[in-house]
């Protein structure tokens, strides 16, 4: 059996980290979750084989499916809060003013929980679009956004709460 492709290995480690609470860092279980997500995206995967330029679309769909699955997992756990913020939800979502408003909404929803997860997806593509050059200014904006989200989450979370902040 040939070794998995680089993208498949990256997705496997992504799933293993994202679902660590479910898999206990067992790569076999993570691979089963990865294969289930890939199965749900079989048609898009076939199109990606025929048109390699669709790879970014497949990655976005894979990440969205994984985020949705993680949300469903946490929805079944009444003692654990979960909020997902997609930075590409709107054209202005990743700008500081709109990001603050959406993240504050999420942090308010997570306030009653002692343990919670805040999932931030697509921040990099929103601020560093793959079809545009990664200029120093765009790179700085991305780094500033990461720092801003970390600081906002730390400032608006109770010291006794356990908030897991995940960036995808």
Q: Are 95 and 129 in contact (CB under 8 A)?
A: no
pLDDT-based confidence at residue 128 (cuts at 50, 70, 90): confident
pLDDT level of residue 127 (50, 70, 90 thresholds): confident
Span 149-158, mean pLDDT?
A: 93
At 14, is the pLDDT very low, low, confident or very high (cuts 50, 70, 90)? confident
Checking if the pLDDT of 145 tops 80, the result is yes
93 touches 87 (CB < 8 A): yes
Measured distance CA(168)–CA(163) in Å, rounded: 16
Q: Is the pLDDT of residue 109 over 50?
A: yes
C-alpha angle 10-16-19 in degrees, rounded to nearest 5: 135
Cα gap 139→66, rounded to integer Å: 26
Q: Predicted confidence band at 41 (pLDDT cuts at 50, 70, 90)? A: confident
Give me the mean pLDDT over the 14-30 stretch.
Answer: 84
Residues 62-67 have a mean pLDDT of: 84
Q: Quick check: 70 and 119 in contact, CB under 8 A?
A: yes
């Amino acid at each position: 059996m040939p070794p998995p492709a680089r993208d498949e290995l990256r997705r496997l480690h992504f799933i293993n980290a994202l679902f660590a609470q479910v898999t206990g860092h067992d790569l076999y279980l993570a691979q089963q979750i990865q294969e289930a997500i890939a199965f749900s995206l079989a048609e898009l995967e076939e199109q990606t084989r025929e048109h390699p330029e669709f790879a970014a679309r497949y990655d976005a769909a894979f990440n969205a499916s994984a985020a949705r699955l993680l949300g469903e997992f946490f929805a079944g756990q009444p003692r654990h809060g979960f909020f997902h913020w997609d930075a590409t939800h709107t054209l202005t979502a990743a700008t500081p003013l709109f990001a603050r408003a959406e993240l504050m909404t999420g942090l308010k929803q997570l306030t009653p929980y002692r343990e919670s997860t805040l999932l931030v997806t697509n921040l990099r593509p929103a601020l560093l679009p793959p079809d545009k050059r990664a200029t120093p200014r765009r790179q700085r904006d991305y780094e500033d956004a990461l720092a801003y989200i970390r600081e906002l989450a730390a400032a608006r979370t109770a010291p006794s709460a356990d908030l897991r902040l995940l960036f995808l």
